[in-house]
């Protein structure tokens, strides 16, 4: 038995059919020729599915119009109004094209990278001076891939479906299953974050996708929970900006860790003379001392370990311990895999 077609794919199939029909498509033609509608178990089910899909497309701004047969006023068909649907001719400046190129580089996941690259190639074809995107070279934000969790969570946010996944807590390292109503996906400080309501705790929580282990599974039907109130969502998103601001002192190799250098601030008034320190001093030879503001030790630690030996943490102790814990975990991965067969 053939697998059912996902609603999003069915909608895309319908758009393609209605855009390319020479005149109009009747409901009977839609049901027989557009992939996804054959799954309807009855005429009533098809009617509900088709009417819902038409409303969804119109809500998305796709002008689905009703066309009647000239000889039979009660014979309805449908098509997309191409004049209303077509985009105006694009005339992108070099600066605008550069900004789009920078935005496209955010999408590092394999599933999204190909789509964004194809879109950018098409835009360059109509833009001015395709090679002039060097205006923003080196400024593009980097967001670590969300892994296999990103795609399912994007769908769950859109469909308002409850999800279940295994999560490793940042502070305690505890691994446990979470059941979450997903509200919003955010790109924050180099990684993807899910904001939603944790059903077990009965409160809003945020989850870093890099800490999700295994597959994300959906529970129940679409529309299983109402959208969050504006103030509730704002409070949940603002939680990422809470916490006391601290200063990290880092020892950085020359011409390395450019992002850390770009965020550097002036040295605090009470900073010690690290080069005079009997332990740290010898380690600072051929390194620059950089000070960076942060709020979450584990979050900055996850960013710093990506630089390897290019960055040493001098202070504070909590940040240094977080980095060492992550490095020790990474160093024993081969042993864990071997022990697990």
Task: For domain 7-85, give the fold.
Answer: Arc Repressor Mutant, subunit A (1.10.10)
Of residues 232, 155, 230, 240, the one with CA closest to residue 206 = 240
- pLDDT tens profile 297-307: 877 888 888 88
Task: For domain 159-239, give the fold.
Answer: SH3 type barrels. (2.30.30)
pTM of the predicted protein model: 0.45
Tokens 């895999």 — which residue? 337
Tokens 């550069």 — which residue? 98
Q: Which residue has the higher pLDDT, 263 or 88?
A: 263
Within 13 Å and on the Cβ side, how many CA atoms surround 17? 23
- pLDDT tens profile 3-52: 578 888 899 999 999 999 888 899 999 999 999 898 888 999 999 999 99
**Tokens of residue 15, six digits:** 């758009």
What does the alpha-carbon distance between residue 105 and residue 162 come to, in Å, rounded to a whole number?
30
Stated as kind and residue range, the H or E segment containing 312 is: strand 311-315
What is the mean predicted confidence (pLDDT) over 70-81? Answer: 77
Q: Tell me, what's the pLDDT at 85?
A: 80
CB 144 within 8 A of CB 163: no
What is the mean predicted confidence (pLDDT) over 116-120? Answer: 64
Q: Tell me, what's the pLDDT at 52?
A: 92
Could you tell me the pLDDT band of residue 269, with boundaries at 50, 70 and 90?
confident
Whether 249 has a pLDDT exceeding 70, the answer reads yes
Whether 173 has a pLDDT exceeding 90, the answer reads no
Q: Tell me, what's the pLDDT at 139?
A: 44
Q: Tell me, what's the pLDDT at 167?
A: 94
Whether 339 has a pLDDT exceeding 70, the answer reads no
- pLDDT tens profile 81-97: 988 887 666 676 666 76
Q: Tell me, what's the pLDDT at 31?
A: 92
- pLDDT tens profile 177-226: 999 999 998 876 657 889 999 999 898 988 988 889 999 999 999 999 99
Q: Which residues contact 136 (CB under 8 A, 6 or more apart)?
A: 98, 99, 101, 102
Could you tell me the pLDDT band of residue 326, with boundaries at 50, 70 and 90?
confident
Q: Is 53 strand, coil or helix?
A: helix
Domain boundaries, the chain: 7-85, 94-136, 159-239, 246-331
Q: Tell me, what's the pLDDT at 169?
A: 82
% of the chain residues with pLDDT over 90: 31
Of residues 263, 258, 255, 338, the one with CA closest to residue 293 = 263
- pLDDT tens profile 137-147: 444 455 556 67
Q: Tell me, what's the pLDDT at 138?
A: 43
What is the mean predicted confidence (pLDDT) over 111-133? Answer: 57
Q: Tell me, what's the pLDDT at 292?
A: 92
What is the mean predicted confidence (pLDDT) over 48-58? Answer: 91
What does the alpha-carbon distance between residue 190 and residue 185 come to, in Å, rounded to a whole number?
13
What is the mean predicted confidence (pLDDT) over 50-62? Answer: 90
CB 314 within 8 A of CB 251: yes
User: Could you tell me which residues are beta bridge partners of residue 65?
Assistant: 79
Mean pLDDT of the chain: 80
Same fold, 7-85 and 159-239: no
What does the alpha-carbon distance between residue 157 and residue 233 come to, in Å, rounded to a whole number?
13
What is the mean predicted confidence (pLDDT) over 319-328? Answer: 88
Could you tell me the pLDDT band of residue 291, with boundaries at 50, 70 and 90?
very high
Q: Tell me, what's the pLDDT at 322?
A: 87
């Amino acid at each position: 038995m053939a697998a059912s077609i996902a609603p999003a794919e069915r909608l895309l199939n319908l758009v393609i059919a209605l855009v390319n029909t020479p005149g109009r498509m009747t409901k009977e033609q839609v049901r027989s020729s557009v992939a996804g509608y054959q799954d309807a178990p009855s005429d009533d089910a098809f009617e509900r599915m088709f009417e819902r899909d038409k409303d969804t497309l119109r809500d998305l701004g796709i002008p689905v119009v009703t066309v009647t047969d000239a000889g039979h006023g009660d014979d309805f068909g449908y098509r997309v109004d191409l004049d209303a649907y077509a985009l105006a001719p694009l005339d992108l400046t070099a600066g605008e094209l550069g900004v789009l190129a920078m935005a496209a580089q955010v999408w590092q996941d394999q599933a999204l990278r190909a789509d964004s690259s194809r879109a950018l190639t098409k835009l360059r074809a109509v833009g001015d001076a395709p090679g002039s995107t060097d205006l923003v070279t080196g400024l593009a934000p980097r967001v670590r891939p969300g892994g296999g969790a990103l795609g399912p969570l994007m769908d769950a946010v859109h469909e308002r479906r409850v999800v279940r996944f295994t999560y490793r807590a940042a502070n305690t390292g505890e691994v446990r299953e979470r059941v979450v109503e997903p509200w919003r996906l955010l790109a924050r400080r180099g990684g993807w974050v899910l904001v939603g309501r944790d059903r077990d705790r009965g409160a809003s929580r945020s989850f870093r996708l890099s800490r999700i282990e295994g597959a994300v599974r959906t529970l129940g039907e679409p529309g299983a929970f109402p959208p969050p109130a504006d103030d509730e969502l704002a409070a949940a998103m603002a939680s990422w900006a809470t916490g006391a601001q601290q200063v990290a002192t880092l020892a950085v190799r020359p011409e390395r860790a450019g992002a850390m250098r770009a965020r550097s601030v002036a040295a605090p008034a009470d900073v010690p003379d690290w080069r005079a320190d009997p332990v740290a001093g010898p380690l600072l030879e051929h390194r620059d001392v950089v000070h960076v503001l942060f709020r979450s030790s584990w979050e900055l630690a996850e960013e710093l370990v990506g630089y390897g030996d290019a960055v040493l943490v001098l202070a504070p102790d909590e940040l240094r311990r977080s980095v060492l814990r992550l490095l020790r975990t990474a160093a024993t991965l081969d042993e864990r895999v071997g022990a697990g067969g």
